[in-house]
Amino acid sequence: FTPWPAQQATVDNQRKERQRQRRRQRAAGEARLGREMSAAPLSPSQGAGRLGSGDEGGMVMRRGSAMDSSSFDLDSPVAELSTKSIAYHERNIATHIKAVGPGHIDLAQSYTSIGAVYFENEKLDLALLAYEKCLAIQLRLLKEDHQDVGKTYANIAAVHFRKAEVFEEAQESGFDEYGKSLEFSFKALEIVVKVNGRQHMAVVTVSSSISLTYKRRSEFEKALEFCEKSLAITMQKLSRNKGGK
């Protein structure tokens, strides 16, 4: 039997220890957020489905790694970090608009960054809106075939692809969203080819994404066509690398 004062002291110590653990988790999250914000802005290649600079100096598109909202604990340090990240980018956008106006090219990167965070947190409509605002600025200030425009086309394609998946998970048709994903993927591919050439590995990544989208639409011949194009470029690349050794 533990006397009441000692028992209460044990409970108090346990509660204080839990509070210290939460403070340490919060401090670690804030420190990690600080490192992210002091570094370069989020690259499109850091999130799922975005097109950014890869090892080959070209562009990379990735699919299907968005966070599963069903397993996202809103009380977790990760959720807290994501909320702070969104708040940071929203303040950054407000500051940019106040400082340089709503149409400055720097604002396009801010929209890309917050779009990436929205995407990772399954806020797909907000991600799409952010990327569309970015695209509007880029098309007004950059050439239509600028590499950054291609990245934004790929970002938009990835959002539509994920929206199609969400529809399918809800037992609804994602056919139209896959169609929109293809539309923007082809725009991205056109720019990738123009910037890097037809034999660049960036073409493989975008073509592979197009192949997957056609497969999801059950258009298997077209899916196979782009899969074979990707394979041919990859084999040629591997052959050249092997010959150079």
Tell me, what's the pLDDT at 20?
A: 65
Tell me, what's the pLDDT at 98?
A: 86
Mean pLDDT of 170-183: 94
Of the pLDDT bands very low, low, confident and very high (cuts 50, 70, 90), residue 36 is very low
Percent of all residues in the chain with a pLDDT value above 70, rounded to a whole number: 65
Stated as kind and residue range, the H or E segment containing 192 is: helix 175-196
Tell me, what's the pLDDT at 96?
A: 81
In this predicted structure, the answer to whether residue 62 has a pLDDT above a threshold of 50 is no
Lowest pLDDT segment from 103-112, 178-187, 204-213 = 103-112
Of the pLDDT bands very low, low, confident and very high (cuts 50, 70, 90), residue 92 is confident
Of the pLDDT bands very low, low, confident and very high (cuts 50, 70, 90), residue 241 is confident
Tell me, what's the pLDDT at 81?
A: 54
Which position has the token pair 């497969």? 215
pTM, two decimals, is: 0.68
Stated as kind and residue range, the H or E segment containing 60 is: strand 59-60
Share the mean pLDDT of the chain: 77
* 134 contacts: CB under 8 Å, gap ≥ 6: 108, 109, 111, 112, 115, 152, 155
Q: If we measure between CA atoms, which residue out of 118, 29, 111, 43 comes closest to residue 76?
A: 29
In this predicted structure, the answer to whether residue 190 has a pLDDT above a threshold of 70 is yes
Higher-confidence residue of 35 and 168: namely 168
- Identity of the amino acid at 1: F
- Do 56 and 147 touch, CB atoms closer than 8 A? no
In this predicted structure, the answer to whether residue 40 has a pLDDT above a threshold of 60 is no
In this predicted structure, the answer to whether residue 193 has a pLDDT above a threshold of 80 is yes
| Cα 194 to Cα 19, 148, 180, 198, distances in angstroms | 56, 13, 22, 8
Q: If we measure between CA atoms, which residue out of 163, 180, 190, 174 comes closest to residue 51?
A: 190
In this predicted structure, the answer to whether residue 64 has a pLDDT above a threshold of 50 is no
Tell me, what's the pLDDT at 147?
A: 93
Question: From CA 207, how far away is CA 229, in angstroms rounded?
Answer: 7
* Cα 25 to the center of its chain, rounded Å: 25
In this predicted structure, the answer to whether residue 224 has a pLDDT above a threshold of 90 is yes
In this predicted structure, the answer to whether residue 74 has a pLDDT above a threshold of 50 is no
Exposure on the CB side of residue 187, measured as CA atoms within 13 A: 20
Instruction: Write phi, then psi, for 67 (nearest 5 degrees).
Output: -65, 135
